């Protein structure tokens, strides 16, 4: 019979419903993703409390939390440590740690206790090539309907780029709101990509400039302007 550690890591895919669970956190019990219906969620895991890379990440996320909240996004962390360890670590961060000018940082978003690794297993966060007992740095973007929209995985040694995580959130919401795609390195204010022509007639119209507002390099590669203020006013909550 397979033990928990021997069980192969499973992983939900983009487009799947986020696996449901109930768990105790530093902010009380949560029922996930039910409690977050109507909001975006970033669910992210870290290997262990009281480790320097994780400490730098939690300070950064906590310092940016209001930015994510304004984009209708809640943060939920996870590690396989216990609740009392979580509480002690977060208090240490607030009382003692300074990083890149950040100090007295209070982590207010929930941090899941997962000592049984049940949640980590549901989300494929335990990667045997990295560790049998620690979750890798996984990031799941879950939309207001509880659907997984993006998955990013980092090894234990690599800290995350939080500006990129914020950019991904805004890009996903922009795609939904305006029915467009976002090209490489896109940020609000940059041109967006329109879906390729679905017929020969549409392709010809685009190449002959009959579709107003489009700039087409070829029949399949067309962009248009999307005003930065329009994007941010649509997405961000005051």
Q: Residue 26's closest CA among 97, 94, 90? A: 90
Q: What is the pLDDT of residue 2?
A: 42
Of residues 131 and 173, the one with the higher pLDDT is 173
Q: What is the pLDDT of residue 131?
A: 64
- Taking only the tens place, the pLDDT of each residue in 148-171 is 999 999 988 899 999 999 999 999
Query: Which parts are annotated binding residues for substrate?
Result: 137
pLDDT band at 5 (very low <50, low <70, confident <90, very high): very low
Q: What is the pLDDT of residue 45?
A: 92
- Taking only the tens place, the pLDDT of each residue in 175-230 is 999 999 999 999 999 999 988 766 776 767 777 676 777 888 887 888 999 999 99
Domain boundaries, the chain: 21-160, 179-235
CATH code at 179-235: 3.30.1020.10
Q: What is the pLDDT of residue 8?
A: 52
Query: Looking at domain 21-160, does it have CATH number 3.40.30.10?
Result: yes
pLDDT over 70 for what percent of the chain? 90
User: Is 54 among the catalytic positions?
Assistant: yes
Q: Where are the beta strands (DSSP E) in the chain?
A: 21-25, 28-32, 40-45, 73-79, 98-99, 102-103, 111-113, 137-142, 148-154, 192-194, 214-218, 221-224
Mean per-residue pLDDT of the chain: 90
Query: Which parts are annotated binding residues?
Result: 137
One of 54, 73, 216, 222 is an active-site residue; which one?
A: 54
- Taking only the tens place, the pLDDT of each residue in 102-133 is 999 999 999 999 999 899 989 988 877 766 56
Q: What is the pLDDT of residue 127?
A: 77
Give the span between the Cα atoms of 146 and 207, in whole angstroms.
39
Q: What is the pLDDT of residue 147?
A: 98
Of residues 51 and 127, the one with the higher pLDDT is 51
H helix runs in 38-193, sequence order: 52-70, 83-96, 118-122, 162-178
Q: What is the pLDDT of residue 4?
A: 45
Q: Residue 80's closest CA among 127, 35, 37, 33? A: 127
- Taking only the tens place, the pLDDT of each residue in 19-49 is 999 999 999 999 999 999 999 999 999 999 9
Give the span between the Cα atoms of 174 and 13, in whole angstroms.
21
Q: What is the pLDDT of residue 41?
A: 98
Q: What is the pLDDT of residue 83?
A: 97
Q: What is the pLDDT of residue 9?
A: 52
Q: What is the pLDDT of residue 157?
A: 86
Per-residue tokens: 27 = 């902010």
H helix runs in 127-190, sequence order: 162-178
Tell me the whole-structure pTM to 2 decimals.
Answer: 0.90
Burial 141-158 (b: 16+ CB within 10 A, else e): bbbbebebbbbbbbebee
Q: What is the pLDDT of residue 219?
A: 79
């Amino acid at each position: 019979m397979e033990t928990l550690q021997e069980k192969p890591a499973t992983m939900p895919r983009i487009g799947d419903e986020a696996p449901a669970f109930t768990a105790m956190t530093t902010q009380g019990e949560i029922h996930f993703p039910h409690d977050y219906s109507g909001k975006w969620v970033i669910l992210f895991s870290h290997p262990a409390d009281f480790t320097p890379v994780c400490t730098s990440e939690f300070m950064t996320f906590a310092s940016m939390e209001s930015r994510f909240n304004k984009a209708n996004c809640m943060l939920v962390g996870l590690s396989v440590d216990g609740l009392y360890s979580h509480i002690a670590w977060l208090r240490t961060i607030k009382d003692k740690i300074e990083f890149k000018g950040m100090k007295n940082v209070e982590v207010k978003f929930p941090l899941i206790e997962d000592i049984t690794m049940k949640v980590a297993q549901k989300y494929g966060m335990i990667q045997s090539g990295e560790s049998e007992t620690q979750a890798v740095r996984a990031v799941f973007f879950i939309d207001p309907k509880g659907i997984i929209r993006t998955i990013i995985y980092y090894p234990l040694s690599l800290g995350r780029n939080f500006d990129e995580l914020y950019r991904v959130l805004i890009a996903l919401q922009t795609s939904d709101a305006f029915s467009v795609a976002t090209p490489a390195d896109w940020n609000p204010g940059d041109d967006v990509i329109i879906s390729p022509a679905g017929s020969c007639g549409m392709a010809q119209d685009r190449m002959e400039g009959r579709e107003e507002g489009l700039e087409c390099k070829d029949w399949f590669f067309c962009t248009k302007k999307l005003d930065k203020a329009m994007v941010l006013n649509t997405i961000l909550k005051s």
